[in-house]
Structure 1
Amino acid sequence: MHNAQCRYGWAAAVFKSFLHLFFGSLAGKLAGVLREVLLAGLFGTSGMVAALRAAQSATLVPVNFFTADTLSAGFLPLYARYRDSDGRRAGSLFWWTAGLLLVASVLTVTLLLAAAPYWIRALVPGFSASERALTVEFVRIMGLGVPFYIAGGLFSYLEMGHGVYTLASARATLQSAGLIVGTLVAYVMRVPSLLAWGFTVAYLVYSVWGFARIVRRGWVPLPSLLRSEDIRSVAGEFWHVVKPLMLIPVLLQGNTVAERAVASLLGVSTFAALDYAKFISDTGILLFAVPLGLAGLSAISKMSDEEARVSLERLLPPLLLASVPVSMALAVNCRWVIAIVYQRGHFDAESTHLTQLILWGYALGFWAQVASYVLMKSLSARLLNTAVFRIMAAGLVVNMVINFSFYRVVGPAVLGIGSCANGVVLFALSTRALGLTGTVLKRLAWLALGSLGYASIEMMPIAQGWLGMLVAAIWFMAWWGAFIAVVPTLRTDARFMIEKWSTAR
């Protein structure tokens, strides 16, 4: 009975937090769609767009070396535990983390400003001299926004530790707003550097707003009230938690660098098209996986192993039920989706075809990326970070091997295929580590059967343009509605998902 109460009560609580983050992410993605449509229409897959994409990666790769897992797998689970038991230790953890990130941000900005030409030459070896020069200019401008990017991230995780998700849900919207303004002003004034200033100004505003929120709520104690023994204690536990993850940023950012390098070797247009494809795929991950993973971090960190397992047994099947059909629909209709979202202005039919080649692989692995993100965050919340490292290492090595081994043979499509393989490996290994393999195998078999039936008819050329999309949408709803209705296992998962949606609204 206790397990059942834990299973359903936890699911309802997490689902409420998920909805908050989901609608915030939805607003951010709507702003992101406007940003990408403007960028595609005004600049297409030109060298300027490639330089902007490369500069953003060049700026964020070193930042993510020390922020991503430090905050999500180290700071947030520990802070959630300390907050309930010892507020002073929670405050000590915040200031310890803030001090570490301040030092890291100063070093990062210095390196970006001084070493940008060498960094860009290594990151995008396929760029011409003029494209590299523009990328360097962008990096130096975006580098000024690094301290604000890091500070805003810390403030958002502190807020999540108190069960509030306003900053986290608004982050994408503010970033997109800054980039939209930068894109429009850069186009009107014919000053490319204003594209990069949109990023920096957006995070300046975000960090100031975040600081005002946490100070107003009294979540940050004055440093003078802290005790040195508390700081030493939390520093030791913090190091114990993040130590197994120290190499994960190397793998993650190394994979990003490798992917960008391969894309640049395939041409500037491929490099620009990569992020147009990733934007569509990452939209689903940001809308579903990230809110669910972040909402569950605090809750799972307080559970026993058995409580966490039974809760995940109820959460994972509906997640697969939602993500697998969407994954297949995106893979089958990716050309239409790209044409409708992007194909206008300077984004022509050739750009659409190039982006489609990349998106197809991302779409096929979308369900695995969504589910594995949630599962990996669950492992981190249980402080099983050694397992997280091993799983991520396996997935990222597979991705890089595929990219470098086959890019000359497969062309731009190799970028999506590598991502798909990475997601499947992460999903398989993380379900095994959490003891959930038996829960998912039967469901995946049914969903695979349903996907084959759906795709076999959906790929037939029935109509074109908006009429074709309408027919495709009707067929998607009709097929999956009927298929789920006749499969008892999937019907039970759908009923659970509907119940949780109704109770969480």
Structure 2
Amino acid sequence: MFKSFVQLFFGSLAGKLAGVLREVLLAGLFGTSSMVAALRAAQSATLVPVNFFTADALSAGFLPLYARYRDSDARRAGALFWWTALLLAVASTITVAFLLAAAHVWIGLLVPGFTAAERSLTIEFLRIMGLGVPFYIAGGLFSYLEMGHGVYTLASTRATLQSAGLIAGTLAAYVLKSPSLLAWGFTIAYFVYSVWGYARIARHGWIPIPSALARSDIHSVASEFWHVVKPLLLIPVLLQGNTIAERAVASMLGVTTFAALDYARFISDTGILLFAVPLGLAGLSAISTMTEQETKASLVRVVPVLLLVSIPVSMGMALNSQWIISLVYQRGHFDSTSTHVTQLILWGYAFGFWAQLVSYVLMKALSARLLNGAVFRVMAVGLVANMLVNFCLYRLLGPAVLGLGGCVYGVVLLVLSARALGLTKIVFSRLVWLAPGAGGYMLIPLVCFTQGQLGIVEAVAWFAVWWGAFIAIVPVLRADARVIVAKWSKAR
């Protein structure tokens, strides 16, 4: 599993580097303007209905079952693929029809705070991105089929290819003064991705011939697939409902806040995509074949390492959020106002970053063990908590409420998922040791920190010195650090 994680990690790293270039270009050329807000809204409006039926169907339904069938019963594995492909084809057709026909109503619900001109531009972007939905879904299915065979090339390059398309669209829109090209970058990227994905799995012979499948195979597999995903049917409703609520609150706080939201989330999501997503996807395939005892033993080794890495990074992001935003984005049309609003949002996300990262891995472990009833209960509580924070406090806290909601969501997910897996003791035993380190680190600005570029250098130095010394003097944390070094050396 660790080798799969390393492959996915470096793929995610490449994707994030491309994503940094994309976000820096977008910030410099368009800032937090209404054009960027419209682009963000259109992308959310496109992916919300898609994620209703793809995320859990593929990650919690298709992949664990396919991994189990692959070696023991090739006919059932093939039947599962074609059953899933048929369901996704029908769903994608309905989704595209909805996005094209009901664009005005959908955008009105998603961004009630936008002006008529801002909604009109968002609708234009939405209809272009909607054409990319079938390719987005097909590429996702092909990547999960490849993961079912222990290969992670498509999954590890997806983010890079998407960013390449969006970078091309951003540059073309700026040079040619044609805003619609921003949206075409998304659609063309996923057209290329799906074609390439099909070519890869066809070349390996992983697409079974439909004529070799019996009706009884399809019926049996469909029944088991339904049994696996049934407890999760309401999770997409909650997830996408949360996204809609978050976007609606952001739109009521203004287009600057709406555009700044994804700039802040890009930074906080980077660590999750680099570490948690590769580990979670690799674990889905590996844990699906483990016993309950083997699963717990594996997580007992992984979770302390994740906490050791993520809590210092989380505190570093929170303490230096303004410098991070300035360094990454503040140039061109991204002015000091854009920096301030984005920093307010990032601050809350940063404090909850560690919890979101660890809980992501634990939730994937629950799915791999087919404990989807527990997944639903955990997600329901976390998402409701997030929505309550957003709607109850947005008038009081302004843009900062968006980050605070994300923080609360992550902590709730971690507490409940750790409890469901019997890992509460290992999680809180590490938090007891790491909490004093986090508290002491957050007091450093009271003693030092200068301004400007020298201040950034000083912040990095203090981060390295403080956490290096703290981990070195705590035996439990020092042992966890040795595990990281040993695993990394072995992988190389």
TM-score between the two structures when normalised by the length of structure 2: 0.99
Q: In structure 1, what is the Cα distance between the partners aligned to 2:86 and 2:315?
A: 45
Q: Which amino acid aligns with 1:483?
A: F
1:76-155 equivalent positions in 2, closer than 5 A? 76-155=63-142
Give the alignment partner of residue 327 of structure 1, picking from 292, 308, 314. 314
Q: CA deviation at 1:213?
A: 0.2
Q: In structure 1, what is the Cα distance between the partners aligned to 2:21 and 2:464?
A: 27
Aligned to 1:28: 15
Aligned to 1:375: 362
Q: In structure 1, what is the Cα distance between the partners aligned to 2:265 and 2:86?
A: 34
Aligned to 1:206: 193
Q: CA deviation at 1:341?
A: 0.3
Give the alignment partner of residue 400 of structure 1, picking from 376, 380, 387. 387
Aligned to 2:236: 249
1:438-449 equivalent positions in 2, closer than 5 A? 438-449=425-436
Q: In structure 2, what is the Cα distance between the partners aligned to 1:466 and 1:109?
A: 48
Q: In structure 1, what is the Cα distance between the partners aligned to 2:153 and 2:467?
A: 34
Larger deviation, residues 52-61 vs 308-317: 308-317
Q: In structure 2, what is the Cα distance between the partners aligned to 1:79 and 1:466?
A: 52
1:8-407 equivalent positions in 2, closer than 5 A? 14-407=1-394
Q: In structure 1, what is the Cα distance between the partners aligned to 2:98 and 2:482?
A: 53
Q: In structure 2, what is the Cα distance between the partners aligned to 1:227 and 1:180?
A: 46
Q: CA deviation at 1:478?
A: 1.0
> Aligned Cα RMSD in Å?
0.7
Q: CA deviation at 1:465?
A: 2.5
Residue 41 of structure 2: SS of its match in structure 1?
Answer: helix
Aligned to 1:466: 453
Q: In structure 1, what is the Cα distance between the partners aligned to 2:451 and 2:188?
A: 42
CA 1:171–1:460 in 2, change beyond 3 Å: closer, same or farther?
Answer: farther
Residue 307 of structure 1: SS of its match in structure 2?
Answer: helix
Q: Which amino acid aligns with 2:401?
A: V
Q: In structure 2, what is the Cα distance between the partners aligned to 1:266 and 1:33?
A: 26
Aligned to 2:410: 423
Residue 365 of structure 1: SS of its match in structure 2?
Answer: helix
The answer to whether the 8 Å contact 1:458/1:475 transfers is no
State the aligned residue count: 492
Aligned to 2:463: 476
Residue 435 of structure 1: SS of its match in structure 2?
Answer: coil
Residue 341 of structure 1: SS of its match in structure 2?
Answer: helix
Q: CA deviation at 1:440?
A: 1.3
Q: In structure 1, what is the Cα distance between the partners aligned to 2:465 and 2:364?
A: 34
Aligned to 1:436: 423
Q: CA deviation at 1:462?
A: 2.2
Residue 76 of structure 1: SS of its match in structure 2?
Answer: helix
The answer to whether the 8 Å contact 1:175/1:199 transfers is yes
Aligned to 1:492: 479
Q: In structure 1, what is the Cα distance between the partners aligned to 2:422 and 2:236?
A: 26
Q: CA deviation at 1:464?
A: 2.0
Aligned to 1:11: none
Q: Which amino acid aligns with 1:214?
A: I
The answer to whether the 8 Å contact 1:458/1:472 transfers is no
The answer to whether the 8 Å contact 1:332/1:459 transfers is no
CA 1:353–1:88 in 2, change beyond 3 Å: closer, same or farther?
Answer: same
Q: CA deviation at 1:459?
A: 5.4
Q: What's the CA shift string for 1:180-212, capped at 9, x where partnerless?
A: 000000011111000000000000000000000
Q: In structure 1, what is the Cα distance between the partners aligned to 2:445 and 2:15?
A: 30
Q: In structure 2, what is the Cα distance between the partners aligned to 1:409 and 1:167?
A: 44
Aligned to 2:444: 457
Q: Which amino acid aligns with 2:84?
A: T
Q: What's the CA shift string for 1:43-64, capped at 9, x where partnerless?
A: 0000000000000000000000
Q: In structure 2, what is the Cα distance between the partners aligned to 1:460 and 1:102?
A: 60
Q: What's the CA shift string for 1:446-499, capped at 9, x where partnerless?
A: 111101111111454522222211111111111111111111111111111111
Q: Which runs of 4+ in 1 moved over 3 A?
A: 458-461
The answer to whether the 8 Å contact 1:138/1:193 transfers is yes
Q: Which amino acid aligns with 1:429?
A: L
Q: Which amino acid aligns with 1:240?
A: H
Q: What's the CA shift string for 1:62-84, capped at 9, x where partnerless?
A: 00000000000000000000002
Q: In structure 1, what is the Cα distance between the partners aligned to 2:293 and 2:4?
A: 22
Q: In structure 1, what is the Cα distance between the partners aligned to 2:147 and 2:286?
A: 11
Q: CA deviation at 1:87?
A: 1.0
Q: In structure 2, what is the Cα distance between the partners aligned to 1:46 and 1:309?
A: 48
Q: CA deviation at 1:320?
A: 0.4
TM-score between the two structures when normalised by the length of structure 1: 0.97
Residue 54 of structure 2: SS of its match in structure 1?
Answer: helix
Aligned to 1:411: 398
Q: Which amino acid aligns with 2:416?
A: L
Q: In structure 2, what is the Cα distance between the partners aligned to 1:457 and 1:476?
A: 9
Q: Which amino acid aligns with 2:421?
A: L
Q: In structure 2, what is the Cα distance between the partners aligned to 1:360 and 1:271?
A: 16
Where does the alignment leave 5 or more consecutive residues of structure 1 unmatched? 1-13
CA 1:243–1:459 in 2, change beyond 3 Å: closer, same or farther?
Answer: farther
Q: In structure 2, what is the Cα distance between the partners aligned to 1:27 and 1:200?
A: 21
Where does the alignment leave 5 or more consecutive residues of structure 2 unmatched? none
Q: In structure 1, what is the Cα distance between the partners aligned to 2:206 and 2:451?
A: 55
